[in-house]
């Protein structure tokens, strides 16, 4: 009978130790989890300086090996990657929407108001149209 009592006590002790180990691991996990105010700023730690456009002329064969500057090569690479090479689709989309959806106009740095060759920029023409309609 002593052996059965000892075995029961050992089993109970093993169960208690297992429960204590599980409780300790839960407490350690709870204290070390990322939480508001304790989450490290991974972007600042990585010291990311932005993407660098490649200067390799990946698409040289498609334009008859034209001599392009580095900026032109980088611009073409960017356009081909972002448009998926489907320029006919984007041209048709810009044409069919009357220019309302033209990605080149969205990302362009061209300022028609500052262009001396432009006879009144787009906004001044729209303002004149609105004035004429409101009279």
Q: Each residue of 110-125: pLDDT tens digit?
A: 676 776 666 655 566 6
Decide if 99 is inside a domain: yes
Q: What is the 8-class DSSP label of residue 57?
A: -
- pTM of the shown model: 0.36
Pair (67, 42) in one structural domain: no
- If one counts the domains in the chain, the total is 2
Per-residue confidence band for 84, with pLDDT thresholds at 50, 70 and 90: confident
Residue 40 has pLDDT above 80, yes or no: no
Query: Does residue 126 form part of some domain?
Result: yes
Report the number of secondary-structure helices (H) and strands (E) in the chain: 6, 0
Residue 78 shares a structural domain with residue 107: yes
Closest by alpha carbon to 78, among 106, 98, 52? 52
Asked if 37 and 71 sit in the same domain, the reply is no
> What tokens were used for 135?
């009279």
- Segments forming the whole domain that contains residue 85: 60-134
């Amino acid at each position: 009978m002593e052996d059965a009592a000892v075995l029961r006590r050992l089993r109970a002790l093993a169960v208690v130790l297992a429960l204590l180990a599980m409780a300790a691991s839960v407490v350690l996990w709870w204290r070390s989890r990322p939480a508001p105010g304790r989450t490290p700023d991974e972007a600042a730690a990585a010291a990311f300086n932005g993407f660098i456009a490649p200067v390799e002329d990946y698409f040289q064969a498609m334009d008859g090996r034209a001599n392009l500057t580095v900026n032109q090569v980088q611009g073409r690479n960017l356009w081909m990657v972002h448009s998926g090479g489907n320029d006919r689709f984007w041209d048709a989309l810009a044409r069919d929407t009357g220019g309302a959806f033209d990605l080149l106009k969205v990302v362009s740095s061209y300022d028609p108001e500052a262009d001396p060759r432009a006879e009144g920029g787009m906004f001044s023409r729209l303002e004149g149209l609105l004035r004429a309609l409101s009279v």
